[in-house]
Homo-oligomer: A and B are copies of this chain.
């Protein structure tokens, strides 16, 4: 049995999205139980499709809004659905928590409530992006850390390797995001991170491929791409922007005049297959790694289908015992991962 604490109030749409997603998810996962966290008056009437026998409502009076500053979410809303969901993991009542709320608040609360693992200075956010090799590339960090040391990048590589291994890909390859493949490229932090990653690979702690460039994320050159949160966030959002633009252009061209509309009709099955392949909703659900408990983040704008994917990812991670895998890998790589003395391990919130 896997127990998921769901922040039902989070995201742009709240319960109107999270509850239908929970219903669909439970129907497909007979071994799952859900803790539905949120305002009791909202959760008193569960939708008809939801298997209530496997759900427990956990009341939380407040909601972290999408634009709440981290301080407000952390200090003033102590009974928020987000915080109560994470507390279920801390207390052992749930194996994993899922929220579509404000990323900065989620990371700060998760860090505050759960604390970081020994050997990890900074938790990271990892997500998957589809690649041309037919699989997905796991990219981290995606915005939790805007200034990273070489040791942080090594920590991300170790945690990312545990995540991908938990997904069934043993000994996944790691690429270091850079502006060229040669060892001499990049700034000092990147060069030193490359050195640490090579040492870790030589010790058998991970499978380091070398430097990769932005296009390698979508080529699928490596299973994992490691970068600081600023770069990862820009790459992710630029990709989202480009994909939207291309989608809009395609729709516009297929809507331009009667011949184009006829062509769209004829090409419908092809376009539907294409759309399914590039559907970013299938990749929804980012892991917060490096904490003493499992937390997954859904895109704030997720619809029920997308939110269900985040629930699936959380379920799979809990089932594959991701937390223990991360801890084992960190313990093994610990000698290389220590932050140079003098640096405070303070998080830079989003």
Contacts and interface: CB of A to CB of B under 8 A. Distances in A.
Interface of A: 130-132, 143, 146-147, 177, 179-180, 185-188, 213-219, 227, 229-231, 233-246, 248-250, 253-254, 256, 259-260, 262-264, 266-267, 269-271, 273-274, 277-278, 348, 350
A248 B143 contact: no
B246 A350 contact: no
Contact of A264 (B132, B240, B242, B267): B267
B270 A241 contact: no
Contacts of A234: 177, 179, 213-214, 227, 231, 234-235
A274 B245 contact: no
Given A132-B249, A179-B229, A238-B239, 17 more contacts: A146-B179, A147-B187, A213-B233, A214-B235, A214-B240, A217-B241, A218-B241, A218-B245, A231-B234, A238-B238, A254-B267, A256-B273, A259-B269, A259-B270, A260-B270, A264-B267, A264-B270
Nearest to A275: B253
A172 to B, nearest CB: 19
A176 to B, nearest CB: 12
Nearest to A249: B277
B215 A244 contact: yes
A253 B271 CA distance: 8
A177 B259 CA distance: 41
19 contacts: A130-B245, A146-B179, A179-B229, A179-B230, A213-B237, A214-B239, A215-B240, A215-B244, A217-B238, A227-B234, A238-B238, A239-B239, A242-B243, A253-B274, A253-B277, A259-B269, A263-B270, A266-B267, A267-B267
A235 to B, nearest CB: 4
A226 to B, nearest CB: 12
B146 A186 contact: yes
Contacts of A270: 253-254, 256, 259-260, 263-264
Contacts of A186: 146, 230
Contacts of A269: 259-260, 263
B267 A242 contact: no
Given A179-B234, A187-B146, A241 B262 contact: no
Contacts of A240: 214-215
A253 B273 contact: yes
B350 A185 contact: yes
A233 B178 CA distance: 9
A278 B262 contact: no
Contact of A241 (B215, B229, B241, B274): B215
B214 A179 contact: no
Nearest to A254: B270
A236 B188 CA distance: 22
B243 A219 contact: no
A250 B244 CA distance: 15
A254 B215 CA distance: 24
A338 B139 CA distance: 37
The 6 closest A-B pairs by CB, nearest first: A215-B241, A214-B237, A214-B238, A218-B241, A263-B267, A179-B233
A345 B109 CA distance: 42
